[in-house]
Structure 1
Amino acid sequence: MIKAAVFDVGETLIDETRIWCRWADRLDIPRFAFLGVIGGMAATGRPLTDAFELVRPGLDLEAEQSAWAAEEPESLRNNFDGDDLYPDVRRALSELRRRGITVIIAGNQPPQAKSALERLRLPVDAVYTSAEWDLEKPDPKFFTRVIEVAGVEPEEIAYVGDRVDNDVVPVVAAGMVPVLIRRGPWGYLTAELPEAAQARIIDGLDELPDLLSPA
């Protein structure tokens, strides 16, 4: 019996299309080209940061982000707001809570993401980020923290995410139930990997309530 559902953020709750398009504009790269390179990182198992190195060799990403913030302090830049939520998010999270399932957000996110998520006023019981824990998936310690904050047994926790490497393999190792959502480049691509068979695979969050708490 699932008592807690824990959610990744990017391409699980948040559609990152606008973020990457703004980055493409910032780097003066055609949007389609940059999105294609990001897809290539997903297809080849390379880290996302390699996409920046490919299109702008030698780019100091941290310095670029700081410069961007200084030039456009009021813009979203590489952040998100309510317009970036997938349309099924509020509906599905509300229904999970209505059925008595604790709903928690815990994903790999930079420091500013926690306040951005809290401003969305989502129907959740708690929000955590890798930045505040100083731990990142797939580190097993990240999932130990997930179990601690959920306050139930590992097998009573479903972790929902879009990546096999971050959201399925280490979730199984921690004794939790992985749910892989097929959206975003990693979601579609990694759903085809053999390791994905360890997860329950969904195409949208509206499938979750009946999957985790059958009527």
Structure 2
Amino acid sequence: MIKCVALDIGETLTRDDRYWAAWAEWLEVPRHTLSALVGAVVAQGRDNADALRMLRPGIDLAAEYSAREAAGRGEQLGEADLYPDVRPALSALRSSGVRVVVAGNQTSRAGELLRAMDLPVDALTVSAEWGAAKPSHQFFARVIALAEAEPDEIVYVGDHPANDIYPAREAGLATAHLRRGPWGHLWADAPEVRATTTWSVDSLTELAEVITRT
């Protein structure tokens, strides 16, 4: 029986459109150029930040992030960045008695912005606050503690096989691969993903229906 649903953030709850658009504007390159490079590194199974490194070899991403914040052009997240099924699906899960938590690889600033949105969840945290990021074992050990359930009573939901599905499965969690965003669509039907994930879903609405029937 699933007692807790734990969710990734980027391209699970939130669209990454504004994130990448802001980087393109900061680096003064066309949005399409950066989008194409993100697609290329995704297809190669690389870190998506490699797209920025391709544009600016040797870039210090932490320093650039700080410079953006200082210039008033830092990270932003708001209601418009949520996928439309997020609030209804999370509310449906909580109404069914399932604990709902959010834990993803994000900055502390993103954590602050997400908490300000008052999502219908029981707990929300990000990797920067834990000092542990996916796909590390430490991150998923923290997820299990946050879930307040046994590993096989938790389902971790995400779009990225290497960061979400495989390590969550290794930690003993059930998994749901979401066909959303570039990673989710690219690998949705890959045999190794289908063989590893507990459920493959096209939306959080579908996920809520599956979990409440389980």
1:74-93 alignment to 2 at 5 Å? 75=73, 77-93=74-90
User: Is the 8 Å Cα contact of residues 19 and 78 (structure 1) preserved in structure 2?
Assistant: yes
Match of 1:44 in 2: 44
Q: Report deviation, 1:83.
A: 1.4
TM-score (norm: length of structure 1): 0.94
Q: Report deviation, 1:58.
A: 2.4
The yes-or-no answer on 1:121 pairing with 2:124 is no
Residues in 1 aligned to 2:97 and 2:166: alpha-carbon distance in whole angstroms: 27
Residues in 2 aligned to 1:133 and 1:18: alpha-carbon distance in whole angstroms: 25
SS of the counterpart of 2:103?
Answer: strand
Q: Report deviation, 1:30.
A: 0.9
The yes-or-no answer on 1:172 pairing with 2:169 is yes
Match of 1:161 in 2: 158
* Residue of structure 2 aligned with 1:105, choices 102, 107, 110: 102
User: Is the 8 Å Cα contact of residues 10 and 16 (structure 1) preserved in structure 2?
Assistant: yes
User: Is the 8 Å Cα contact of residues 23 and 78 (structure 1) preserved in structure 2?
Assistant: no
Residues in 2 aligned to 1:151 and 1:208: alpha-carbon distance in whole angstroms: 20
Q: Report deviation, 1:189.
A: 1.1
- Consecutive unaligned residues of structure 1, counting only runs of 5 or more, are none
Q: Report deviation, 1:79.
A: 3.0
User: Is the 8 Å Cα contact of residues 164 and 190 (structure 1) preserved in structure 2?
Assistant: yes
Match of 2:31 in 1: 31
Aligned length: 212
Residues in 2 aligned to 1:110 and 1:9: alpha-carbon distance in whole angstroms: 11
Moved more, 83-92 or 46-55: 46-55
User: Is the 8 Å Cα contact of residues 75 and 109 (structure 2) preserved in structure 1?
Assistant: no
The yes-or-no answer on 1:206 pairing with 2:179 is no
- Consecutive unaligned residues of structure 2, counting only runs of 5 or more, are none
Residues in 2 aligned to 1:4 and 1:169: alpha-carbon distance in whole angstroms: 18
Q: Percent identity?
A: 45
Residues in 2 aligned to 1:174 and 1:59: alpha-carbon distance in whole angstroms: 34
TM-score (norm: length of structure 2): 0.95
1:188-199 alignment to 2 at 5 Å? 188-197=185-194, 198-199=196-197
User: Is the 8 Å Cα contact of residues 105 and 126 (structure 1) preserved in structure 2?
Assistant: yes
Residues in 2 aligned to 1:149 and 1:67: alpha-carbon distance in whole angstroms: 33
Letter in 2 for 1:56: R
* Cα RMSD for the two superposed structures: 1.3
Q: Report deviation, 1:60.
A: 2.0
